[in-house]
Structure 1
Amino acid sequence: MGQNAFDQKKNAILEEINSTDLDLSPKGTIDELCLPIMKLINSHRDMVTTSSCSGRLSVFVEGNKVHNKTVKVGGKGDGGKWLFVTHNQDEVLGWLNNLENKNTYFQPILTPNSTPGSDGSTRLILYKYEPFILHVKCRDLESASALYNVAMSCGFRESGIGSNFIVAIRINIKLDVPIGYVDETTDAYNLLVPLTYIELLDQLTFVKFEDNAKKIQYLYNKIENEIINHPIQNVATTQKKEVETKEDRRIRKRKEGLERQRRALEEKLLKQDTANIV
């Protein structure tokens, strides 16, 4: 008998995960911090991880925000580029100095205390910390619900169940602030904030990396204890026995009523027989 669609999909995904080829992400490989929890989830017959990010700091220059004389929100395309990206907590502090010292993509050097235009077309330089995110494809709603409930109980309040029983495990401990802008006449990257503010953001991000790692470990432990070591099938069976539908209740009440009538009739007949004997 051939494999069903889920098993075929899971095998294909696991082959990609175990491959030495680079994946389609900008980094090209799976973040090391994600590997333990991915391995744990993938050990379950009804689940497989499809995408992940352990958490990262990025500094991004928006692309052109004017299209057909209309200003658009964002600007990831049309010249947008990453100035700095790291998934490593140890590379957070002092990233700006290191980037300037490399003397590569960060030309010209940022200049402080500048003021951008106010028409909405200014290309901003965005400082972002994005926490752990994991997508897991599940076999059915039962397994998806079990994983979703565990994630929510661990504080991953941005989680949800999407189409095809894909569970997105997310948490809202992010940072997303503008720190500068692009001067279109000179192509200079101008800071909107003093360097001390960048240092403050770096300190906050460093702490968020630590908090993020603790939450991933907590989630790992809960999944291991409540799903991997506690089969979903057993939990579901117990729940089905405890949940009573309206129809089940109607039938039970009817049976109980008939049983009471039978007992009452037996008691009545017994009293009559006793009276005849006396």
Structure 2
Amino acid sequence: MAAFGRWKAQRLARADASRKGALDERAAPVVRLLNARARFCTTSSCAGRLVLAQGGAAEDAERRGAPKKGCEWLLVTHEPCRRDELMTALEKATGDVVFKFEPFVLHVLCRELQDAQLLAVRSTHCLEVPLSHMGKLMVSEEYIEFLIHVANRKMEENTKRIDRFYKCLQLALEADVSANNLHSEETEKYHSVYVHRRKRETIQEQDVHTSPKDHSEELEPEDDPESNLGIFAEIMI
């Protein structure tokens, strides 16, 4: 655990190596929420973007996790896109170009497996459409206008999903902390009851050896077997 904390401190101290060079404003609340917990460390994030990318082979390499060498971004924006700016960017095309909407993405390293299970979330809220081949536009401008409308709606929905995810994550983390605290309290209570019983049994054994008593004497309420079973039943529940 200490090693994870040291690694996290080193990781968060690094300079931002993304193209933008800074944290996306919409992603910032979620990133800060997680990094405020000792068991999480975010490594990269994107609040969602619209991209016009050139380079067919590079696109395939990107999906396989290879470096993005040779992939040229003709347009990238984290805001809704306008038709005129997309058409202007398309004029620069000389190869295969795709238009993509990429939703909010967040990569997180977790201290333990149970921490990772709390964050297991995936989404299919994306869009990827080829527009040109070898610099030649393969679709109509009317279709491009329709495509921009669809992509912008996805961007708006993406913003709402980030807000919902933040609120749900906040509640989940708070509930998890409460559950862990309750477990610790129950464990401590069980330990206290056990220690108390052992002390009482030790005293009774000493009394037997030092001054034998009539064994027909009634048990005190705290020594009643049913009462003791009730205590442990309450703990287990």
Provide TM-score, normalisation by structure 1. Answer: 0.57
- In structure 1, the residue matched to 2:78 is 87
Distance 2:170 2:147 in 1: 34
Segment of structure 1 superposing worse, 74-83 or 42-51: 74-83
Q: What is the aligned length?
A: 183
Structure whose residues are more often helix by fraction: 2
Give the residue type in structure 2 aligned to 1:74.
D
Matched, 1:126 2:78: no
- Taking a change above 3 Å as real, the CA distance of residues 73 and 9 of structure 1, as seen in their structure-2 partners, is closer
Determine the C-alpha separation between the residues in 2 that align with 1:129 and 1:83. 14
Q: Aligned match of 1:202 in 137, 148, 167?
A: 148
2:138 is matched with which residue? Answer: 192
**Which SS does the other structure have where 2:130 is aligned?**
strand
Distance (Å, rounded) in 2 between the aligned partners of 1:82 and 1:215 = 26
Which amino acid letter does the alignment assign opposite residue 85 of structure 1? V
Name the SS of the counterpart of 1:24 in structure 2.
coil
User: Is the contact made by 1:44 and 1:228 (CA closer than 8 Å) also made in structure 2?
Assistant: no
Question: Which whole-Å CA distance do the structure 2 matches of 1:30 and 1:230 have between them?
Answer: 27
Structure 1 outlier segments of 4+, above 3 Å: 72-80, 91-94, 97-100, 235-238
Q: 2:42 aligns with which of 43, 49, 57?
A: 49
Corresponding residue of 1:74: 60
Alpha-carbon RMSD across the aligned residues, in angstroms, is 3.1
Give the Å deviation of 1:60: 1.2
1:99-134 Cα shifts (integer Å, max 9, x gaps): 37xx8xx167xxxxxxxxxxxxxx521111111110
- Distance (whole Å) between structure 1 residues aligned to residue 54 and residue 151 of structure 2: 19
Q: Deviations 1:187-239 (Å, cap 9, x if unpaired)?
A: xx21100011111111111110111111111110011112146417628949x
> What is the aligned-residue identity percentage?
31
Structure 1 gaps, min length 5: 66-71, 109-122, 149-155, 159-170, 183-188, 242-278
**Corresponding residue number in structure 2 for 1:140:** 112
2:5 maps to 7
Report which stretch shifted further, 53-62 or 139-148: 139-148
Tell me, which stretches of 5 or more residues in structure 2 are unaligned? 63-67, 188-237
SS of structure 2 residue aligned to 1:94: helix
CA distance in 2, matches of 1:195, 1:95: 13
Q: Quick one: which amino acid aligns to residue 145 of structure 1?
A: Q
Structure 2 vs 1, CA of residues 175 and 73 (structure 1 numbering), >3 Å: closer, same or farther?
closer
Partner in structure 2 of residue 24 of structure 1: 17
